[in-house]
Structure 1
């Protein structure tokens, strides 16, 4: 009889030790598992942002930050839109066949609404920030320059739809991020839901 009580006690002690060890493992591993979740800051960086474009006059541009990158929002004038077809022969990819852009944007205007252009302000050559050069025929860009974006790092040029010119270092057009419109005045960068 003594053997049976020793056996039962041994089983009880083994089971108790296993449960205590398992509970200790759960308590010590919980912080490590929790550290794999993105922080509130990381979630905020990847979240869609709302941009009020009601005060952006035709011909004006604003920059916003989304996912740590600058995004340019340009309110194009009728004159700017007319210039888009004039420069097609000078562009490397006028039909935006090699571009990173959502399928729902028009390939000529590279936008949902022709007058509103939304592109990332990151040159596709080495990641510099292109600057807006909407002035026509400046001395440093030549008399034929119709306006667009210019990368000061290595001289890449983009038209008013963010399409890259031929013969410049940048290999592709400026990237169009996913975006949508809530209404005529609110643009959401980073979300494809809503009024398109």
Structure 2
């Protein structure tokens, strides 16, 4: 993971342009956001064996108990993969976010399989499966699920915030405009083996 290096012990905002000031306020509010996200339920998962991880093997995940609003984090090829069971409110927020996004139509083909190049960036509308690594410098974004959070502005629809440099993403992992991250979060190849079993790292078009 990348580490953010800061220079100096203080800063002033007198000569900072409005966009820069908004970024500083958003970044400064990360602590508060993280505190609020403690209210969001999370589910732990048993990881694959070290040998399987080293080989980059697909990861099979039981999602049968993942309730709406809950997020499961598993590891695949040494990367955190988020599995978020989106609520109806989270899905509604996707449309609200579109005018503020850099690539709302997911036109960068390398960032998702063809079956995830849709408004929800998913195979099943409720289920987001995305690699939780910022496309700027590799930090891991934090949850900023609360709409209208004061640190991110009244028009904030909810999503994710990278604490390193302030990039923000919606509930589909799509990056907001004028942020350091150049592209949306990556959707890994995946397929559903059943209603309760998800395979990450393999789909009909690839075996790894």
TM-score range for the pair, normalised by the shorter chain length: 0.7 to 0.9
Select which of 181, 187, 190 maps to 1:176. 187
User: CA shift at 1:146, angstroms?
Assistant: 1.1
1:53 equivalent in alignment to 2:58: no
Q: CA RMSD in A?
A: 1.7
Q: Unpaired runs of 5+ in structure 1? A: 1-39
Please tell me whether Structure 1 or Structure 2 has the larger radius of gyration of its CA atoms.
Answer: 1
CA distance in 1, matches of 2:142, 2:88: 21
Whole-angstrom CA distance in 2 between matches of 1:85 and 1:137: 15
Higher helix share: 1
Distance in 1 of aligned mates of 2:54 and 2:179: 36
**Does 2:162 correspond to 1:148?**
no
Distance (Å, rounded) in 2 between the aligned partners of 1:162 and 1:98: 13
TM-score by length of 1: 0.75
Partner of 1:11: none
Are residues 1:78 and 2:88 paired? yes
Assess if the C-alpha contact under 8 Å between 2:106 and 2:117 holds in 1.
no
Contact 2:107 2:117 in 1 (8 A): no
Q: 2:125 aligns with which of 114, 127, 137?
A: 114
Q: TM-score, length-normalised on structure 2? A: 0.71
Displacement of 1:152 in angstroms is 0.3
Equivalences for 1:1-196 in 2 at 5 Å? Answer: 41=51, 44-99=54-109, 100-193=111-204
Query: RCO higher in 1 or 2 (8 Å CA, sep ≥ 6)?
Result: 2
